[in-house]
Amino acid sequence: MNSDAASDHGWWFQSGQVALPKDVHDKAGGNRQRVITRVAGSTDVLIFSDPVRGRRYGYDRFEGVREDGSFWYTGEGTKGDQSLESAGNRAILRADVEGLRLRLFVTEGTMATYMGEVVRGDPPSEWRRAPDVDGVERDVVVFHLVPVDRMVTPKVVVLAPQPTTVWTPPSDGDYTVAGALVNGRVVTRQEMRLQAQFGLWLQTQGRNVLRRPIVVPSSGAQVFPDLFDASTPMVVEAKKSAAREYVREAIGQVLDYQNLLHLDGERQVRAAILVPGAPDEDLMVLCRRLGIDVYIPEGDGFRTV
């Protein structure tokens, strides 16, 4: 280890700091030939993402900052199906068990930006299909990484902005029973059905229901509420259950959406959550105190509780 180690357990880089990859390795160590490399004699694992150079291996299909602030990272392996037994993939997979610290860098041109320390998210990973170096479709592991602290985001890795569009109900056939990933989280068929029924009901009330992207100022990434009623206006987060864990998650998400809209100048937007039944009374008290409307189904429509 170098004698000028920083206070972060011998770590030298600050989030947002830019350096040549060579200088990163000179300071921190690790194998210069690998995109995922464990540093000998420390708990650090260096992870390098290069969205441009990675295109020839299919890495750019999923890699980068996602709408929810997570970073999706395609595992190592350039030809054929990837394996969780490769050294780099195994290091990410076992980081929690072995107490490893994952250090994420994003390369643009000849320079690498230190994004910060990351941990595996929830869900921690998924298998996707992407081409290998020969253009043959293969299985790749996509790790969902979330920042330990605030992530400094290079604009190059932010997904292209999407416009506001008229909302259309999702089809049950688009989602498996087990769930699909939307905005980096698992969404079940039951939740999508509830969203569809509520959106259609709002439209029968003459409401202008939109698919409304919201920009996160710190990164330029976009998040998408489940529903946005431009007539009220009102932002809505739906959940498949009124159980405590789902209601607490919905509260956090919808308040985040409301705050982002407030920062963007839309100061009159109401917050609402949509669940299949009434939550416990203490949660209803919390929602009322926070100014959050709670919608549940009733007959052929919906009502607030």
Domain check: are 133 and 226 in the same one? Answer: no
Q: Which of 155, 183, 213 is the last residue of a domain?
A: 155
Mean local confidence (pLDDT), 231-259 = 95
Mean local confidence (pLDDT), 186-215 = 88
Domain check: are 30 and 122 in the same one? Answer: yes
Q: Among 51-65, 136-150, 285-299, where is mean pLDDT lowest?
A: 51-65
Q: How many CB atoms lie within 10 A of CB 259?
A: 13
Q: Among 61-70, 195-204, 267-276, where is mean pLDDT lowest?
A: 61-70
pLDDT, position 123 = 84
pLDDT tens string 50-94: 978 888 999 888 888 876 778 999 999 999 999 999 999 999 999
Domain check: are 135 and 174 in the same one? Answer: no
Domain check: are 133 and 215 in the same one? Answer: no
Say what the alpha-carbon torsion angle 259, 168, 182, 140 is, to the nearest 10 degrees: -150
Q: Which residues pair with 266 in a beta bridge?
A: none
Q: Residue 294: pLDDT above 70?
A: yes
Phi, psi of 157 (to 5 degrees): -100, 5
Q: Residue 303: pLDDT above 90?
A: yes
pLDDT, position 79 = 94
Q: Residue 177: pLDDT above 50?
A: no
Domain check: are 215 and 257 in the same one? Answer: yes
Q: Residue 179: pLDDT above 50?
A: no
Domain membership of residue 285 (yes or no) is: yes
Segments forming the whole domain that contains residue 255: 165-304
pLDDT level of residue 175 (50, 70, 90 thresholds): very low
- Look at the pTM and tell me if it is higher than 0.75: no
Domain check: are 148 and 181 in the same one? Answer: no
Q: Which residues pair with 113 in a beta bridge?
A: 18, 106
Contact 274, 236 (CB under 8 A): yes
Mean local confidence (pLDDT), 89-102 = 94
At 83, list the tokens: 């394996």
Domain check: are 141 and 234 in the same one? Answer: no
pLDDT tens string 22-37: 999 999 999 998 999 9
pLDDT, position 191 = 84
Q: Among 46-55, 97-106, 282-291, where is mean pLDDT lowest?
A: 46-55
Domain check: are 139 and 86 in the same one? Answer: yes
Query: Residue 181 to residues 130, 162, 243, 285: CA-CA distances in angstroms?
Result: 17, 18, 21, 31
Q: Residue 174: pLDDT above 60?
A: no
* DSSP line for the chain: --TT--TBTTB---TT-EE-HHHHHHHH---TT-SEEEPTTSSEEEEEE-TTGGGGGTGGGT-EE-TTS-EEEE-S-SSSS--TTSHHHHHHHTHHHHT-EEEEEEEETTEEEEEEEEEEEEEEEEEEEEE-TTS-EEEEEEEEEEESSPPP--GGGBPPP---EE--PPPGGGS-SS-EEETTEEE-HHHHHHHHHHHHHHHHTT--EEE--EE-TTT--EE--SEEETTTTEEEEE-S--SHHHHHHHHHHHHHHHHHHHHTT-TT-EEEEE-SSPPPHHHHHHHHHHTEEEEEEETTEEEE-
Query: Residue 122 to residues 7, 20, 70, 162, 181: CA-CA distances in angstroms?
Result: 29, 32, 10, 25, 11
pLDDT level of residue 183 (50, 70, 90 thresholds): very low
Mean local confidence (pLDDT), 204-214 = 94
Q: Residue 48: pLDDT above 50?
A: yes
Q: Among 52-61, 99-108, 232-241, 258-267, where is mean pLDDT lowest?
A: 52-61
Domain check: are 128 and 29 in the same one? Answer: yes
pLDDT, position 184 = 44
Mean local confidence (pLDDT), 217-227 = 80
- The CATH number covering residue 107 comes to 2.30.280.10
pLDDT level of residue 128 (50, 70, 90 thresholds): confident
Mean local confidence (pLDDT), 129-155 = 85
